Amino acid sequence: MAAAPLTHHEILALVAPFTQRGRHVDLAASDRPARKLAFKPVLHPAAGDRTPALREVLHVECRDSGLFRLIRVVSAEGGPESSVVVDGETLAELLDDVETVPLARQYETFGAVQVARSFRLLPGRGAGRVRAVPIRMHARLPGLDFTLEVSKAPVRTAEYQLLPHEGAKLELGEDLLAVLGWSWGLIRPRGELMRGTLLLRRREPRRTETVIASFDAAARHLDEVLRQTPARFHERFTRQRWIVTFRRALPILVCVGVVAATLGVRFLDLAADSFGLLMAFHAPPLLFAVYFMLPEIPRIEIPPMPRMPTAAAWLTRATSTETA
């Protein structure tokens, strides 16, 4: 059976911890049949160059199990939204937990780049009652949205996406982010959307801090590179582009090496019970097993050599015909 809509008395009891802190419920924005409450926005003035004026809204979801979900949504003018989500039994404690995440950690700007970080609060380890784990990173750049989705499961990779704004057309090199290091995967276009992966650390707190630092560095990198010409990118990152090419060639080089070693065993004078002969016969299945155990399955390909791009710009305005 569906849960009964929130009554007036239930709402008064639920909002008491919020009212004591100057937070007032917005009945017009709330959904009583769905047992969801919204609070009136709180406006925060800009705090320095990196924290703009922010709009903060709280939402409470009342679950059938007796648990509550508190969501804090923060946004800036013209920018993406970020959220902090926490589940629990006591709303006063959940409000305390949400307020442990500074607004500056949730939302920052770097020049023309707006970075919104969304977190889920989980039980803390050590002194803290809760710890903030990133679930989504969103950077809005001129002409482009850059996002990173982080699974709550302890997986080794997170997927990033690059999406041009409406009316814009992007032609990005596959190694545009891979030049930042081995953790960044290649950009793979899928229509207008471009995707790739970021290799993550397994354990906290280094996992969270690395995700934030890597994403911020990539957002700054994109902003800087996209303001320059593709030819300038090639000039600045020629060495890194060759390293990426070597990375892409590793899977096929390993396969060729194993096949060559296996074929060359017959020219060696090895005893029938020697370890070398044993490894030669079992190398292909072992390599096959390792292939599927990697965080991201490598693509076996002959990579293209880095060349000077011929395009005048990364970002162009789509014509009316293309837009239609």
> Could you read off the pLDDT of 45-61 as tens digits, one per residue?
998 889 999 999 999 99
Same-domain status, 53 and 159: no
**Residue 116 reports pLDDT greater than 50:** yes
Residue type at position 262: T
Domain count, the chain: 2
In a domain, 126, yes or no: no
**Residue 195 reports pLDDT greater than 70:** yes
Last residue of a domain, one of 83, 105, 127: 105
In a domain, 123, yes or no: no
In a domain, 210, yes or no: yes
In a domain, 119, yes or no: no
Among the residues of 179-274, which ranges form H helices? 206-226, 230-236, 238-264
123-140 pLDDT, tens digit per residue, is 877 667 889 999 999 999
Euclidean distance between CA atoms 76 and 28, whole angstroms: 22
Q: How many CB atoms lie within 10 A of CB 306?
A: 19
Euclidean distance between CA atoms 151 and 160, whole angstroms: 12
In a domain, 74, yes or no: yes
Confidence of residue 171 (pLDDT cuts 50, 70, 90): confident
Same-domain status, 172 and 245: yes
pLDDT at 42: 96
pLDDT at 272: 60
Same-domain status, 69 and 160: no
Same-domain status, 84 and 148: no
Check if the beta carbon of residue 303 is closer than 8 Å to that of residue 175.
no
In a domain, 260, yes or no: yes
Euclidean distance between CA atoms 283 and 219, whole angstroms: 41
Same-domain status, 177 and 284: yes
Cα distances (Å, whole numbers) of residue 190 to 162, 176, 193, 195, 196: 10, 16, 5, 7, 10
- Mean pLDDT over 276-305 rounds to 70
Same-domain status, 87 and 161: no
Confidence of residue 268 (pLDDT cuts 50, 70, 90): low
**Mean pLDDT lowest among 105-109, 236-240, 246-250:** 246-250
Confidence of residue 193 (pLDDT cuts 50, 70, 90): confident
Which residue range forms the structural domain that includes residue 56? Answer: 9-105
Which is more confident, 122 or 284? 122
Residue type at position 298: P
- Mean pLDDT over 256-280 rounds to 66
In a domain, 125, yes or no: no
Last residue of a domain, one of 105, 123, 157: 105
In a domain, 228, yes or no: yes
Same-domain status, 161 and 272: yes
pLDDT at 318: 62
pLDDT at 299: 78
Last residue of a domain, one of 105, 128, 153: 105
What integer best gives the mean pLDDT of the chain?
Answer: 87
Same-domain status, 275 and 150: yes
Same-domain status, 301 and 165: yes
Same-domain status, 80 and 150: no
Same-domain status, 284 and 195: yes
Same-domain status, 153 and 28: no
